[in-house]
Amino acid sequence: MHLFHSLKKLSRPSPATSLSIPPPTPPFSTPSPWHVSLKPNRGSWNQIFGLLFLDNPIGVGFSIASTPEEIPRNQKDVAKHLYIAIKQFIKINASFKGRPIYIIGESYVRKYMPAIGYHALKKNGKLRHVHSKVNLVGVVIGNGLTDPVSQVATHAANAYYIGLINDKQKRQLESLQAKAISLAKKGYWSEATNARSEVLNTLKNMTGMATSYNIRSKLVGEALHENLMKSVKYMVEFLVKNTKVLLYEGQLDLRVGIVSTEAWVKRMNWEGIDKFLEADRKVWRVNSELAGYVQKWGNLSHVVLLGAGHLVPHDQPLNSQAMIEDWVLEKGLFANDQIENLSTNLANIL
């Protein structure tokens, strides 16, 4: 069993902060999957942070599973593997010991983020010596499928109210959604996952707009199939009580968008949820240009990025870079209730 990692150090001096687990903004990009030439990515998140990329779960990319049985089948096993990998990385690279760690994921990886954060904080609580702990100080969930039962119910209304489907199609989708929800509530997880796929495929056919990047490894897909519709909301509730949490979505995401996220956020079992829901949603600008909206209270921040779909850093690389830098450094909208984004890094590289 082997988890592959790649470390990308920061581009210039910065506070001693590291980001861990696969941020979707590498230092280099390619024109397309069919071109292997590399060019610097101005929106990379390693401008002022170090990045640790992990091919995860075991069985994907360069992370090798000796046998199919080693491929994890639930988020708890995924979290255990990631935790061991982070601990081993810190052991090998002593300079990272004690440095702040942020774990970040987008698309299906978003389900791993609450799991690894939850696992790490629980482990930390059992360790006596501070140097034995993973110094987790923040978790980022992009377009997160966190509480599937509440989220799958939003697709029809979301598409209808932005004019992508008509009333007849809306009713068709609602019927399919109800089937997925019913199966999940009965604990028929594999069937519920199939039913959700039917919802998304129908939506794609109705709109002609969605581009689906899905499971690329059949073995891994089959291993985690039953896990997809299971909720990790309770893990996020634990995280927000103990560390910073950032949720973000692209305004145009049809798969797991803003309405989908708000559906589960407003149901959070957290003492600060009422104050968060009453907090102002502020206009966010990058270099004086409208970039999106930010809502924040306590440890929880929620960002909507304009002009972005499901893969936010790909669609809005510079704005997502500004978002993550200001959130980590607690600048701009993430401090002092200011309206304007204060990221200086973006201006420096333009």
Catalytic residue of the set 63, 310, 315, 343: 310
Annotated catalytic residue 217: no
Catalytic residue of the set 20, 44, 63, 107: 107
pLDDT at 130 over 80: no
pLDDT at 14 over 80: no
108 band by pLDDT with thresholds 50, 70 and 90: low
Annotated catalytic residue 5: no
Q: What is the pLDDT of residue 6?
A: 53
pLDDT in tens, 251-276: 999 888 999 999 999 999 999 999 99
CB 152, CB 116: distance < 8 Å: no
pLDDT at 287 over 60: yes
Q: What is the pLDDT of residue 44?
A: 80
What is the mean pLDDT of the segment spanning 39-44? Answer: 76
Token pair, residue 272, equals: 């600060």
Return d(Cα 334, Cα 299) in angstroms, integer: 10
Three-state helix/strand/coil letters over the chain: CECCEEEECCCCCCCCCEEECCCCCCCEECCCCCCCCCEECCCCCCCCCEEEEECCCCCCCCCECCCHHHCCCCHHHHHHHHHHHHHHHHHHCHHHCCCCEEEEEEHHHHHHHHHHHHHHHHHHCCCCCHHHCCCEEEEEEECCCCCHHHHHHHHHHHHHHCCCCCHHHHHHHHHHHHHHHHHHHCCCHHHHHHHHHHHHHHHHHHHCCCCCCCCCCHHHHHHHHHHCCCCCHHHHHHHHCCCEEEEEEECCCCCCCHHHHHHHHCCCCCCCHHHHHHCCEEEEEECCEEEEEEEEECCEEEEEECCCCCCHHHHCHHHHHHHHHHHHHCCHHHCCCCCCCCCCHHHHHC
Residue 255 backbone phi and psi in degrees, to 5:
-90, -60
Average pLDDT, the chain: 82
For the question of whether the overall pTM of this predicted structure is more than 0.75, the answer is yes
Q: What is the pLDDT of residue 339?
A: 38
pLDDT in tens, 206-240: 998 755 554 444 554 454 556 789 999 999 999 99
Catalytic residue of the set 55, 77, 147, 253: 253
Specify which of 3-7, 28-32, 46-50 reaches the highest per-range mean pLDDT. Answer: 46-50
Token pair, residue 264, equals: 């589960």
Annotated catalytic residue 310: yes
pLDDT at 97 over 90: no
Q: What is the pLDDT of residue 131?
A: 74
